[in-house]
Structure 1
Amino acid sequence: MTSHGSGASSGAAARSSERTGIGSGWLVFAAVLMVFGGLMMIFDGIAAIAEDDVFVTTRNYAYAFDLTSWGWIHLIVGVVVTLAGAALFQGATWARVVGVAVAGLAMLANFLWLPYAPFWAIVLIAINAVVIWALCTAPRPSER
């Protein structure tokens, strides 16, 4: 009976350490999505900077910038999102806060990008929403 009790507690401790280690599933998931989403924003930015003819522009759009300006915005935000995602792989605590902030900024940039690439903007908005959720629900470092 003693061995059964210690086995149950060691099993619970093993499950707890799996959930809260530096490789916590939600943090790794958020990091992968951030790197992916950031790279996609970088590619959007490069496409908008290099070829304005790739995107169809909407007339009378309230947030109508030059497509090259939107390209630079996407490129810069994409680089920051990718770097924050890479920092999450390193286990940096600050990367969680920065990750939530830049994912929110990326959601806003993609919302304003909707008239130019609607399907892809919606996909990136959803990815960033999942990133924010994953970063907010992952265990805190004090729980490790």
Structure 2
Amino acid sequence: MRNVRAVGHVAWWVFVVSALFTYFAQNTAIGLPRRYADYLPEDGFDQGNTFAMLMLAAAIVVVIATIGEAMLGKRWEPGILTVGAPLLGGLLIVVVAMGGFGGYRFDLWVLFVLTLAGVAIREGWSRALAPTRLDD
């Protein structure tokens, strides 16, 4: 259980950080008039795609690790929360990586709060409330 949980923690933080870098790589010219944006060394599209792929790979590892952790726990009630918490928190982080939802772009402060909420949901369950041993 300890190893699976450790893999999940590392993958979660790779997911969160790559999501934030996805957002920033794709929005490097925010606030700059078009005449200045042309002088940026790169438009961020390639970098954004690389970070997005890293984010996806880390998300897959997080889901696999949480499913493994839930199966090792042998109880379905905490198992559902063990899988659900990172999915819900991750959904908020994906909204941040996209900069908004649908066609609506969120203010940077809203993205900040969504990031904190996503991290708090996953970390609150994983580090404070999830069973810590197989027999819990």
**Using CA pairs below 8 Å that are at least 6 residues apart, which structure has the higher relative contact order?**
1
TM-score by length of 2: 0.41
